[in-house]
Amino acid sequence: MQNASTLRLNPTLAGLILLLSACSSDPITPAPALSDEQMLRESQGIANLGDKWKKGKQLVVRGNVLVREGQGKIDEGNRLIEEGEKMKRDSEESYRNIKN
């Protein structure tokens, strides 16, 4: 007989535990509705962020172009230096050959 009363108590106890846990959890509240002015302010703020991002992207692209152009000028400068150094060495060697 005790088994039968224990079995009846367990579903009751389980129901009580479920009820208490449901009551103790935070209630779900819907987000408050935004006013027209608040929506406009927020959307303008987001638009400003988008514009700022686009300008930043343009600066990065332009910077990369300048770096590539600069690297090309550096490479050309190094080529001219090498060519000039070779001409100087050849001239010095020819001068030594004439002197001797």
Digit-coded pLDDT (tens) for 11-38: 776 776 766 666 665 666 777 777 888 8
List pLDDT tens digits, range 35-58: 888 888 888 989 999 999 999 999
Neighbouring CB atoms inside 10 A of 73's CB total 10
DSSP label of 25: S
DSSP label of 34: P
- The secondary structure element, H or E, covering residue 97 is helix 36-99
What's the domain count of the chain?
1
In a domain, 40, yes or no: yes
DSSP label of 31: P
Does pTM top 0.95 for this prediction? no
In a domain, 20, yes or no: no
Domain region containing 65: 35-99
Mean pLDDT value across the chain? 84
In a domain, 68, yes or no: yes
List pLDDT tens digits, range 51-96: 999 999 999 999 999 999 999 999 999 999 999 999 999 999 999 9
Whole-angstrom Cα distance, residue 94 to residue 91? Answer: 5
